[in-house]
Amino acid sequence: MTGIAMGVLKERDLELGPQPLGESTWRHWRITRDADDVAWLILDKQGSSANILSMDVLGELSDVIAGLEVNPARALVIRSAKPSGFVAGADITEFGVMTDEDAVVKMLGEGNRILDRLDALPFTTIAVVHGFCLGGGLELVLACDRRIAIEGARFGFPEVLLGLHPGLGGTWRSTKLINPVEAMSLMLTGRTVNARGAKATGLVDAVTEERHVLNAVKAAVDGSLRLPKPAFPQRAIGFAASTSFGRRMFAKKMRSEAEKKAPSKHYPAPYALIDLWEDLGGDPREMKEAEVASFARLLVGPTAKNLVRVFFLRETMKKLAGKAEPLKHVHVIGAGAMGGDIAAWCAWQGVTVSLADMQAKPLAKAIGKGASLFGKIGKKGALTRDALDRLIPDLHGDGIARADLLIEAVPENLELKKKIFSAAEQRMKETAILATNTSSIPLEELREGLARPERLVGIHFFNPVSRMQLVEVVSHDGTSQDVLAAARAFVGQIDRLPAPVKSAPGFVVNRALLPYMLEAMVLLDEGVKAETIDKAATDFGMPMGPIELADQVGLDICLHVSEVLKDALKWQMPDAPKWLRDKVAAGDLGAKTGKGIYTWEKGEAVKATEVPEPAPELTDRLILPMVNTCVAILRERVAESVDIIDGAMIFGTGFAPFRGGPLHYARERGLGDVRDTLRALAAKHGPRFEPDEGWDLVKAL
């Protein structure tokens, strides 16, 4: 195959075959043949930084295949010209807005026919994959005869995260190609596997370095490529799962595991996929037809619609980060739970971090906790070592003078924070940003006495920092726009989602969450069981109930924040119950002390197993005050849009994603119904439930 080596196009260091001789007929594809009659088909979707399988991309692929059907090649190699990877998936902007089930079936039918024609070409087809190969991209790869992965490639079916399952042949091709239990696990979890893991399961045939692509392609074409042989346990499981009895047994276990993370009453996609495989996994032809119909039903349903909305909310918030020169050095003041975790996360994301505290003990504890986190994420390899090298204990605050960004993360005490700011401002660079991680104190109070108040911004993380995606970027009326832009860019730099909010008591997330948690305390005071209260919330779709959440956060923190916000906002909320104050005074603070409202053992709340079921009103008493507060936040322009508020609540609190956010939930339920229910609750339980005056604004936006 010496012809391939002649005139090789090494754009972006990718081996993309011989240079095209003239202008391509297509916008997104280009095809050439080398001296050995191997066709190289390159995907480079125009107007996009990543390849996606839109209908115009598939339509052009159909034309390419038609030409190859008439004029066959010796082999076909498919590659991506994008440095980001192969194909990131299907075009969500096209199918995410579809509401007609028949139209979805028609669209998927056309896409499947195109991939079937690729599958049926009478010569060897080879996919060479670098970077991400997800969803529809993986389905395209599965329609090829051979799959070669470049080191660093990752493969996965993320459709379940959108309330769907594969719809372009992924369900039957994957379960036919590899151990079906492993294939189902990939589809049910949405996880990705690296190139080596994909080869171990048989999902790809070879793994190579970019510089050896031509040799790997040559071996695939002439038949000398050594194909992987799955280990005996995988073969045995695959054999068992090939029988109807085996599928029933595995399907039962799959449903049980799925219920733990995605209850069937809220998330239908995993169970639709399991049913599909259990019933039809023995007949790929029937499974193929049923896959399309099942996908279409899911797509037009409310769960998929709302999860697609969440996908777009995430993309919107990513774009808010913008682009700026990455910050190189961050100095964190305060090595407590939040400060230590912020420092560790920044170090993991490649930033040099100096972590300061007045005492050596909390510094040592924070470094140890960071090492533990790195070990879990990085498997104690070179990444862990490098992150630890970037995490520098700083007992004397020497890092202040070198830092591009200072983050204060000390307890919520106004005078303490102002004292720290005053001292830090004298030592920091003029170009450095001064940030606070305060969760409740308005920045207008914190800026008093600063020589350069325009460089003060809030960068408010949520606990646990390594898992919560949201960071509130808080401005006051004097914050420099350049500082705000740099703060948002920094949040993006450390792989978090920035939510721009204005300085106000509690900002967005804590302000909206507090009525939810306080109402839970009122219900406890009325004699409702803690487990019943929590079940009402989790049945609604919250990741945990408000009582368990209060214990996780710490009852002392909950009490302090509630008093600060209740006073600042003049809320008509009941005072914190005496028993709550007594618990805090006694040191029963929740998970961190082993005892709060629940007793905690090995990091888990000990709960009674048999408790009364929650009444419907109980759910409304918990959820609707949160929704009502989001309306007030919108009316006061603490956040500028419904999308920012909904995104903040989903990514900052875990608000039931399948409901699309609190304000979207209100719209879906009906604004009139929500307001009427709030008025009824106000008449029965007090003025704290009175609808905010901003409900008409929600309707208008």
List residues with catalytic annotation.
90, 136, 139, 159
> Using an 8 Å Cβ cutoff, are 513 and 626 in contact?
yes
Q: What is the spatial distance between Cα 701 and Cα 698, in angstroms, rounded to a whole number? A: 5
Q: What is the spatial distance between Cα 74 and Cα 65, in angstroms, rounded to a whole number? A: 14
> Using an 8 Å Cβ cutoff, are 484 and 457 in contact?
yes
Residue carrying structure tokens 């924040």: 561
Which two structure tokens, joined as six digits, stand for 680? Answer: 């009824």
Which two structure tokens, joined as six digits, stand for 443? Answer: 């920045």
> Using an 8 Å Cβ cutoff, are 281 and 175 in contact?
yes
Radius of gyration of the chain (CA): 28
Which two structure tokens, joined as six digits, stand for 551? Answer: 């214990």
Beta-carbon neighbour count of residue 637 at 10 Å? 12
Classify the phi-psi angles of 602: left when phi > 0, otherwise alpha if psi is within -120 to 50, otherwise beta: left
Beta strands in 527-648 (DSSP E): 599-601, 604-606
Half-sphere exposure of 304 (CA within 13 A, CB side): 26
410's enclosing H/E stretch is none
Cβ neighbors of 442 (< 8 A, separation 6 or more) are 476, 503, 504, 505, 568
> Using an 8 Å Cβ cutoff, are 450 and 421 in contact?
yes
207's enclosing H/E stretch is strand 206-208
Residue 694 sits at the vertex; the CA angle it makes with 545 and 661, to the nearest 5 degrees, is 35
Which two structure tokens, joined as six digits, stand for 470? Answer: 């949201």
Contacts 24+ apart (CB under 8 A), 244-247: 244/282, 247/180, 247/277, 247/278, 247/281, 247/282
Name the DSSP class of 487.
H
Beta-carbon neighbour count of residue 256 at 10 Å? 9
How many helices and strands, by DSSP H and E, does the chain display?
Answer: 30, 20
Classify the phi-psi angles of 37: left when phi > 0, otherwise alpha if psi is within -120 to 50, otherwise beta: left
- In this structure, are strands 329-333 and 206-208 parallel, antiparallel, or unpaired? unpaired
> Using an 8 Å Cβ cutoff, are 661 and 650 in contact?
yes
Which two structure tokens, joined as six digits, stand for 452? Answer: 């350069």
Residue carrying structure tokens 């004292």: 419
> Using an 8 Å Cβ cutoff, are 4 and 17 in contact?
yes
Q: Which residues pair with 129 in a beta bridge?
A: 149
3-class secondary-structure state, position 34: coil
Q: Give which of 556, 524, 700, 536 is closest to 626, Cα–Cα.
A: 536
Q: Give which of 435, 557, 563, 449 is closest to 503, Cα–Cα.
A: 435
Q: What is the spatial distance between Cα 642 and Cα 663, in angstroms, rounded to a whole number? A: 7
